[in-house]
Structure 1
C-alpha cells in the first residue's frame, strides 16, 4: 500500500486543498506550509484532496498530513492508499476529473430560499438570550427597516437542554404561533442543534441505557469539552441513535412547523480515533456521519465537514473576527474559493461583521462601521449571505443604507445564483470560482481577492480599511461594470470603489 509520497513541484506550480481554513495560505507551493489532516482539527470543512494548476492531484479515502518544503510536496501519516493523478490540462480540468471520480454531483438541491434571499441568524443579536418576544421583535424589525425576508435561524439556547430538543417553556410560551408569525412575515425558520447530550440528565441516562452514546477506548461514556462545557456525544454510526435524533427533529417540523436546522459542533476535534462506536471509524468520519444525517433536511447548514463534497449541504465559513485581517474579512474570499475547489459548492460566508461572539462583544463599543459595510458587500454575491447583528441598530443611517443595498443586490441576483446552484448540483462545479478556474490560461493563480460568480460575473470587493479604490485583474473579453463602464481585457486597472460601491462586472464577449 502506498501510504506516503514525495512529489517534486513543477515550475510555477500552485496547489489548493486540504482544509478550507487554510484558504488564506493558498495557493501552496511558493513557500513552506504544513497541515495535519490526520485527524483534521480545523474549524471548517476539509477534504483529502490537493489539486494543482498544472493538472495534477492527490487523493486518499483516508486522512493524511502534508507539507510543502524545499520544492517538494510530501504526503505522510496516511491510513490508506494515496492516489496520484497527472496529465490534465489545467486547474479546471483536473478539478472536473477528481470531482467526477471521487465526489460526483448528486443532482440534489438545497432549499432555494437559501440562495435567493439573505439569511438572518439570531446569534450575535441575542446570543444565549433566545426568547420568543425578542425573536419576533428581531424579525419584524428586519421587515420594518426595508430588508428582504429570507431564512431566519434561531440559534443556541432555544432548547431545554443539549439533547432535549424542545422549546424551553420559560422562554417560549407559544412557539407554534411564533413560527406561524415568522412564516407570515415571509421567513423560513431554522433551529440550532448539535450531537451533544448534557450529562446528569434524564435524556443522558435514557441514551446511556440504550447504548446510543460514544464511549472512550476504556469503555466508559465519553464526556467531551466543547465551547459550552462538557457533554456526552451521540453515536451517529448507530442507526438506532440516528432514528432517535431524527424523531426529535421531525417532531419539531411536524408539531411547530420548523423548516430546517443549523447543525453545529460536529467537529472532528471532539472525537478520537480510538472511540468505541457501533462502527469503528476515524475521528474525521464522525463529521461525515453528522453531515449525512443533516442532509435529510433540504434546509440545513454546517460549519465543519469531512469528505462530503458534492452533497446537498449548506457550508458556512467558520466564525470570523470583527477585523480586516485574515482572521476576519480578509479570509472570506480566499477561504470561500477554497471551499469551491474542494467540492463544497453551496457556500456561505460567516455572519456579516464577524460571528465570533466574544470578539464581537469586545468590540461592541467601537464597532467599525466601514468594516461592517465591506463585510456585507463581500457577502452579497456569494451563493448565500447571512446577517446576525442588526445593521439598522448598530450603524448610522448612511452605513445602514449601504448594507441594505448589498442585501437588495443579493436578492436581485437571486434567480441567477439559484440557476448556478442548480448547475452545481448537476455538474459539481463551484458557484463562486477562482479566477484560475474560470480563466486557466491567464496566470491568475495567486489572485485571491476577487472571484467569479459563475463564468460571467467578476466580483471585486474592497477588503482593505480606508480604501476607496482597488486593483482589479480583468481576463480577456469585454466587461461591463456595475457603474456602466466598459473594460476591454486582459488588463489590470485601478478602479474607483468608494464605500457606496461593490465593484462587479458582467462579461459581454
Structure 2
C-alpha cells in the first residue's frame, strides 16, 4: 500500500506522521527489553511536546537470534491474536540482554544486536557482529491517517468473486527497512510471479485466485533476504508490502490500526534464517513414507463410481505404474450438500466395502472436504441450531451461494464446533479413510461475528490455520504421530507444521507449469517443506507434451498427484508414451525413497525444505540468485523441469562438477555455467552434485518398505573424502554408513549401526573415476 506521492509528498487524503527522533531510550526494569519514545516532531522546546502524536517503539527478544519490534500509536486497544510463536522462550521479558550506551541502548540476542540511538534523526540498526543487516532510519516508522476518499494504491484487496475485499481503514502503521545495494528479497508465501520480490507490491490476503494472478492461497508475512536475515510481521490479517516499489531503497510493510509488531530473524545463511523461523513458528511435521508415492485422483467434475475407481486402479497396476494413494474428489458426496461427510449412496452404496477393497490393494484413501456446509444438507440446520456456524452481526447465520447454495461456514473459534467437525472426520476414518484434502479456507468474510469475538479482518487469513489444524489433529489422534497427512490448499504462518500443501488451480499449459513451480519455490522460502501440485494442470486438458513434461516434474517433487478439473489425468488418456513416462519416473522416485525420506526427516528437524530454491541452496552465488525454473531436491539432486514442447531447456549449474543422472556424463561448471540442453520426454536435466552419496532402495513398486534391505549407495566421483550417510526406514530403524573415497577406490563402514544387516551395494557412478 503506497502512502506517498514521490519522495516529498503524500497521496491525496493521506496524512503521514513519522518518528523523527528517539526522545527517550529506556531499558525496562526486566533488563531484557527497551522502550523508545519517538515523537513525530523533533522536540526543540517544552511546547513541542503538546498536541503532537507520539509513537512508542518497544524492543524485546522472544528467542535467541530474534528481535521483536512493536510500534504503537494508541495503546488502549484490545489485545488481538498474533501468530502462535511456539518457539518463544524466556517469558514476557524474552531472552535478550540490554546494555545502555552513551548514545542510546542495545539489545543483543545471540548473534543479532539492535542498536537505537538517542536524538534525531530516528535510527534503529540491526547488526550481525559488525555487519549492519538492515536499519530503520529517517521517515521509516510511520503513522498514517487516511480519509475515506483517499487515493491509496491497494485500497480494495482480496477476491472480488469471494466477497472478501479489504476497504481502507482510517489509520495504518508502517515500517520501512533499508535495502542494500544488490540485496534481494524472497518469500511472502506462495506467489506465482518472479521468485525475487524486489519491485513488487504484495498484499498478504488469502484469496482463491488461481495460479495465474497476483493473488495467492498461502500468504505468509515473512520474507528473507540474501543479506543474512528475515523479517516476520506478527499480524494474521492484511499486511501490505512495498518491496523497493514505493521507496526503491527500502521494504515497507503496513497494517491497519494502531500497532505494528515485527520480528527480525538472524542468519547468517538463508537456511539458518529458516531454521530459526520454523523453530519460532513451528517445525514441519514428519510425514509418512507412503505419502511420497503417486496419488491418483478421480478429478473434480468427472463422472465416477466404484467401477470407475476400480478400473483406474486395475489399469495402473496392469501397466506397471505403482500408485500409493487414491483420492476421491468433491462428488464422493451428493451435490448441493458439501460438506455433509456422507458418501453419495447413488454411486457408492457400499463405502466401507469399497474402502476395504482398496486397502486390500495396499492403497491409502484420501477424500476431499471443505469447511462449508450447504443449506440442503441436514447438517446445516444441526450446525446452525448449535451455534457452530459463523454469524452476521444481527445474529443470523452468515450464508451465500458462491460454491454451495446457501452454505454456511464452520466457526473453528468455537471449541464445540471444532469437536463436532472432528467427530465427522473420525467417522470417516472408522470407515477406512486415511487422509483428507482440505480444500478452500480462503473465502472467509470480514463482515461477520466470530464465537470468540476475534477481529474479522485478522481472522480472514488465520482461519485456514484453525481449519487445517482441526483436521490434522484428528488424523494424528486416530493414526498416530508421523502418519497424519492433510492435502491443503490454503495456509499462513505456522501452516508449515501441518503438511502437505498443494499449489492450487493451475491451467494446463507450460506457462502455468512454470508459474506453479515459482509458487512452490516462493513457499519453500517461506518455511514450507512439503509441496505438491496438480500434474498436468487443473483447468482444461493438457496436450500430451505438457502432460508428459509435467509428469516428470511432478514425480521429482516432494509429493506427487495426478488431478484435473473436468477431465481425468490417467496416463493412457493421452498416449502410450505418457504411460511409459509415468512408469519410468514413478519408479525412479520410488528408488529414491531412502534419499527423499531422509530429506523429509531433515525438514522436520531443521525446517529446510525438501525442494530448495537455488538461492537457498547456493547462497552467495549470484548466478543462482534469480533462478526460479529449477531447484535442488534434497542435498544433492539438481532438477530442471522442461517447459517446452521441443525439449529445449536452460539449466544453471553452480560451481563444481555435476554428473548427469541418466548418462553419467560429467560437466565441469567451473565457477558456474548456463547450459542449453535438449531432452526427449524420458529425460530432463537431473544432475548429481560432485562427491554425492545417494542411497537407493531395492524396490520400485512402493514407497514404504525396509530401505536397508538391498540398499545401494550410488557414489558420485569427487575429491577424496569421507562422508556419513544415514538411512532411516519407515519403522524408525536407522543405520549410518561411512563412505570413504580415496584414489578412485570406494569403501563403506557400517558396522557401528547396521549390525545384522547386509552391507549395502556400492555403485561408483559417472565418469571421472580415473
Task: Determine if the TM-score, normalized by the shorter chain, exceeds 0.5.
Answer: yes
Contact 1:118 1:410 in 2 (8 A): no
Contact persistence 1:191–1:261 (CA under 8 A)? yes
For the residues of structure 2 that align with 1:495 and 1:169, how far apart are their CA atoms?
Answer: 53
Deviations 1:200-226 (A, max 9, x none): 543211111111100123322111343
Structure 1 range deviating more: 219-228 or 455-464 = 219-228
Task: Check conservation: 2:316, 2:322, Cα contact below 8 A.
Answer: yes
Deviations 1:274-296 (A, max 9, x none): 43333515211111101111212
Between the two proteins, the alignment pairs up a number of residues equal to 487
1:347 to 526, 531, 535: 531
Q: CA separation in 2, counterparts of 1:424 and 1:245?
A: 30
Q: Decide whether the 8 Å contact of 2:375 with 2:405 is kept in 1.
A: no
Counterparts of 1:292-311 in structure 2, within 5 Å, are 292-296=469-473, 297=475, 298-311=484-497
Q: 2:600 aligns with which of 400, 404, 421?
A: 421
- 1:221-261, CA deviations, whole angstroms, 9 ceiling, x for partnerless residues? 1113433444101111111111111111111111x211121
Match of 1:113 among 279, 290, 293: 290
Q: 1:28 aligns with which of 185, 191, 197?
A: 197
Stretch of structure 1 that moved more, 35-44 or 197-206: 35-44
| Whole-angstrom CA distance in 2 between matches of 1:271 and 1:412 | 46
Structure 2 SS opposite 1:13 = coil
Structure 1 271/437 Cα, relative in aligned 2: closer, same or farther at 3 Å?
A: same
Partner of 1:456: 636
Aligned to 1:77: 255
What's the offset of the Cα at 1:404? 2.4
1:65 Cα deviation from its structure 2 partner: 0.8
Q: Does 1:145 align with 2:315?
A: no
CA contact (8 A) 2:444 2:463 kept: no
Residue 426 of structure 2 corresponds to which residue in structure 1?
A: 250
Corresponding residue for residue 377 of structure 1: 552
Cα 1:87/1:391, change in 2 over 3 Å: closer
1:507, distance to aligned residue in structure 2 (A): 1.1
| 1:337 to 2:545 alignment | no
Aligned residues of 1:260 and 1:299 also touching (Cα < 8 A): yes
Give the deviation of 1:87 after TM superposition.
6.3
For residues 109-508 of structure 1, what are the structure 2 equivalents within 5 Å? 109-115=286-292, 117-124=293-300, 127=301, 129-160=303-334, 161-254=337-430, 256-267=431-442, 269-272=443-446, 274-281=448-455, 282-296=459-473, 297=475, 298-325=484-511, 328-349=512-533, 351-356=534-539, 360=540, 364=541, 367-388=542-563, 389-443=568-622, 444-466=624-646, 468-482=647-661, 483-489=663-669, 490-508=672-690
Distance 1:150 1:95, change over 3 A: same
Given that residues 90 and 440 in structure 1 are in contact (C-alpha distance below 8 angstroms), is that contact kept between their aligned partners in structure 2? yes
For the residue of structure 1 that corresponds to 2:487, the secondary structure is strand
Deviations 1:308-334 (A, max 9, x none): 244132101111101121xx1111321
Secondary structure of 2:277's match?
Answer: helix
Matched residue, 1:17: 187
Contact between 2:614 and 2:627, CA under 8 Å: does it hold in 1? yes
**TM superposition shift of 1:186:** 2.2
Cα displacement string for residues 78-110 of structure 1 (whole angstroms, at most 9, x for unaligned residues): 55533252764343333333333x32426x322
Give the 3 Å change call, closer, same or farther, for CA 330–82 of structure 1 in structure 2.
Answer: same
Once the two structures are TM-superposed, the CA of residue 39 in structure 1 deviates from its matched residue by 6.1
Q: Which residue, 222, 228, 232 being the options, matches 1:59?
A: 232
Instruction: Name the structure with the higher strand share.
Output: 2
Deviations 1:170-217 (A, max 9, x none): 111211111111112221001111111111543211111111100123
CA deviation string 1:439-488 (max 9, x = no partner): 1021111011110012211111111332x332221122322111211122
RMSD: 2.1
1:411–1:202: structure 2 CA closer, same or farther, 3 Å change rule? same
Note closer, same or farther for the CA distance 1:225–1:413 as it changes in structure 2 (3 Å cut).
Answer: farther
TM-score by length of 1: 0.90
Distance between the aligned counterparts of 1:174 and 1:87, measured in 2?
Answer: 55
- The 3 A distance-change label for structure 1 pair 216 and 152 is same
Question: Which stretch has the larger CA shift, 440-449 or 279-288?
Answer: 279-288
CA distance in 1, matches of 2:230, 2:588: 37
Residue 339 of structure 1: how far off its partner (Å):
1.6
3-state secondary structure, aligned to 1:270: coil
Compare the two structures and name the one with the higher helix fraction: 1
Equivalent-residue separation in structure 1 for 2:558 and 2:388 (angstroms): 37
Task: Point out which structure has higher relative CO (alpha carbons under 8 A, 6+ apart).
Answer: 1
Equivalent position SS for 1:83: strand
The 1:200–1:153 alpha-carbon spacing in structure 2 relative to 1, beyond 3 Å, is: closer
3-state SS of paired residue (1:36): strand
**Take 1:39 and 1:194, find their aligned partners in 2: how far apart are those partners?**
15
Specify whether residues 481 and 273 from structure 1 end up closer, same or farther in structure 2 by C-alpha distance, changes over 3 A only.
Answer: farther
- Match in the other structure for 2:277: 98
Q: How far apart in 2 are the matches of 1:226 and 1:406?
A: 39
In structure 2, C-alpha distance between the alignment counterparts of 1:348 and 1:431, rounded to whole Å? 11
Any unmatched runs of 5+ in structure 2?
A: 1-69, 72-172, 209-214, 476-483, 692-770
- Give, in angstroms, the shift of residue 120 of structure 1: 0.9
Tell me the TM-score normalised to structure 2 length. 0.61
Distance of 1:311 and 1:211 partners within structure 2: 29
Distance in 1 separating the partners of 2:362 and 2:295? 12
**Shift, 1:44, TM fit:** 2.0
SS of the residue corresponding to residue 301 of structure 1 reads: coil
Any gaps of 5 or more consecutive residues in structure 1?
none
Between the aligned partners of 1:146 and 1:24, the Cα distance in structure 2 is: 37
Structure-1 residue corresponding to 2:134: none
Q: Is the 8 A contact 2:189 2:222 kept in 1?
A: no
In the aligned structure 2, how far is the partner of 1:394 from the partner of 1:277? 48
1:273 shift after superposition: 6.1
